[in-house]
A and B are shown apart, each in its own frame.
Chain A
Amino acid sequence: MTALLADTWWMTHRRLQAFIRQPAFLLITLVQPVIWLFLFGSLFRRVVELPGFGATSYLDYLVPGVVVMNAVSSNMWAGMGTMEEIERGTLNRFLTTPVRRGAIMNANVVEQAVSTTIQSVIIVLLGWWAGAHYPGGIGGVAVLLLASVLLGTIFGAFSNTVGMLVRQRESIIGINVFLLLPLTFLSTVFMAEDLMPGWIQGAASVNPVDWAVRVGRAALGDSPDWGVLASRGGWLLGLAVLTVLLSIRTFRTYQKSV
């Protein structure tokens, strides 16, 4: 067990070092969410005036949406890195050392969690700086961060699975381009549920992006909706566990195919 923890630490350390070595990369990845936040925030500012929207400030409404959207868009590329390490042979080099196999997968999850948390915190602070209110306080923000990490884990693990299985950049790019916008717009990221057509409401109810944004909003509001927190939060956790198990399974299959 201690060996697994130590190996996980060193494998994660390696990834965080790469992260620290290129701080500019973090800023570049934040350009997109910042644009969403301020562009959509200004463009749709007055939609809150629509009867039945149920919020007073669109910025308040949008911040959790942008946090989860960023969690999806930054983690869905994880498979690219995994694929590169396979192609370069770095993964096989690790596999000829006594490193615990679990540590390699753990490191993916931990590094994604750390980078998603940092990015989410920055988005929350930028929103706050622009005038957003978070009545749920620090606790509410923490729940939003947790939801974004879980969502990031789901998409990171999914991307890794695809990367190990298909080993083609084009496939990952194709899947991501195909998924990102529908997943964002078939949810309450930009629009309140009551104002959406029925079929989108239906699609949103099975969309993990929607689960995460609902958890975030419920926690950031002044009176948390415990029902939403428990149900959607639980589903997120369940799906995260499932996708991670799937990626571990694919990793085992990869090891057998070497």
Chain B
Amino acid sequence: MTAYAVEAHDLVKTYPKGVRALDGLSVAVAPGEVFGLLGPNGAGKTTTVKVLTTLARPDSGSAAVAGHDVRRHPDRVRRAIGVVAQRTTADPAATGRDNLILQGRLHGMGGTALRRRVSELLDRFDLTASAGRAVRTYSGGMQRRLDVALGLVHQPRVLFLDEPTTGLDPEARAAMWEEINRLADTGLTILLTTHYLEEADRLADRLAIVDKGRIVVSGTADELKGELHGDAVHIDLRTSPDDRADRLIRDAIGRVPGARDIRLEGRRLSARADDGPAVVPAALAALEQAGVPVTAVTVARPSLDDVYLRYAGRRFADADAGHGVDAGGSELVGASSDGGAR
């Protein structure tokens, strides 16, 4: 049908109570690519994964995975994909090995081929020693590795990783990143969602920023950062300015040569400049003249956070903290919303 491994056009999905989880989302992932969907909680990432993995039906729009239409041929899609949900989905009472064997059976595998594949995965994910133990005795990192192994049993063409490192400690996270990189080297197409900027930056060949159910921008991390032209200058003020001071500050900074894209949110004043360090003295002088006390100044190369701010119009951390609008679809694991899981 197409040359893309994953292709979605104009997906719309509304949950009961009028929550519009997807609002015309389109995305295309090339074969062999690691594609990151980056966005705060509640942006629609998980709903996108649910639609692409045939769990949820979109209200409108179309999507194809591995060349098969998710609505018309869900079974063909299911055969081609591996899915790793946000939280562990293994049967805790069963052993790691039994979980893997069942997963293979459900994909129509059996006999020695399945046994060999399961042993291979247990080895590769360093689970052989605990393969005969009930999964409930596993550590968080071990369960996460088993989850990925479960998604790989039938050698899928496209792997979906929904927030693969949420809730992991730094060590387990680094190990998971390494594993994802290894998988990418095998030519597997990977679509991963994350709300960690660093994760998207490190793992994804290309990424898209999702906000309020649509893609606001996509490209490689460097492209996105490059479009911002220049450094970010952040100045922390001692107090939040009132309306009058707000105008005063904007005017003062507006007169500083080279400063543009001025934003003032609470106590944080941000501006952009081709040469960040050069504008700092003038900016500080202008603020002092206006009688606005300053507590800290930082100059930074553009980060994905800046990209997010630029395209979604708000700071990533603020958007993330203000989640909870995604009722009915915030987690791949259950149909009910469960905001307290993290």
Contacts and interface: CB of A to CB of B under 8 A. Distances in A.
Interface string B312-342: 0000000000000000100111111010000
Contact of A258 (B86, B90, B93, B335): B335
Contacts of A93: 83, 85, 89, 103, 150
B333 A10 contact: no
B91 A257 contact: no
Interface stretch (A51-59, A81-89, A200-208): A81-89
Interface in B228-247: none
A87 B92 CA distance: 13
A99 interface: yes
Given A86-B335, A89-B332, A167-B336, A98 B106 contact: yes
A86 B334 contact: yes
Interface stretch (B52-60, B170-178, B265-273, B285-293): B52-60
Contacts of B105: 6, 10
A42 interface: no
Nearest to B105: A10
Contacts of A14: 91, 94, 98, 102
B237 to A, nearest CB: 45
Contacts of B333: 87-89, 92
B87 interface: yes
Contacts of A256: 57
A94 interface: yes
A90 interface: yes
Interface string A83-112: 000111110111111110000000000000
A7 B106 contact: yes
B53 A97 contact: no
A30 B226 CA distance: 69
Contacts of A90: 89-91
Most buried by A among B85, B94, B134, B334: B334
A254 interface: yes
B206 interface: no
A118 interface: no
B18 interface: no
A258 B56 contact: yes
Nearest to B83: A96
Q: How large is the interface on A (under 10, 10 to 19, 20 to 34, 35 or more residues)?
A: 20 to 34
Contacts of B332: 89, 92
Specify the main secondary structure of chain B where it touches its partner.
loop
B75 interface: yes
B263 interface: no
B107 interface: yes
Given A88-B89, A96-B81, A10 B106 contact: yes
B71 interface: no
Interface in A189-223: none
A17 to B, nearest CB: 7
A13 B101 CA distance: 12
A96 B55 CA distance: 6
Contacts of A21: 93-94, 134
B195 interface: no
Nearest to A85: B91
B78 interface: yes
A173 interface: no
A17 B334 contact: no
Contacts of B98: 14, 17
B145 interface: no
A18 interface: yes
A99 B105 CA distance: 9
Nearest to B103: A97
B100 to A, nearest CB: 12
A29 to B, nearest CB: 16
Contacts of B335: 86, 254, 257-258
B117 interface: no
A97 B89 contact: no
Interface string B120-164: 000000000000001000000000000000100000000000000
List 4 tightest A-B contacts by C-beta distance, closest first: A89-B333, A89-B89, A93-B89, A97-B106
29 contacts: A13-B102, A17-B94, A17-B98, A18-B94, A21-B93, A22-B93, A86-B335, A87-B336, A87-B338, A88-B92, A89-B86, A89-B87, A89-B88, A89-B331, A90-B89, A92-B55, A93-B89, A93-B103, A93-B150, A96-B54, A96-B81, A96-B83, A97-B78, A97-B103, A98-B78, A98-B107, A256-B57, A257-B328, A258-B55
Given A94-B106, A98-B106, 4 more contacts: A10-B102, A21-B94, A95-B54, A258-B335
Interface of B: 16, 50, 53-57, 75, 78-79, 81, 83, 85-94, 98, 102-103, 105-108, 134, 150, 328, 331-336, 338
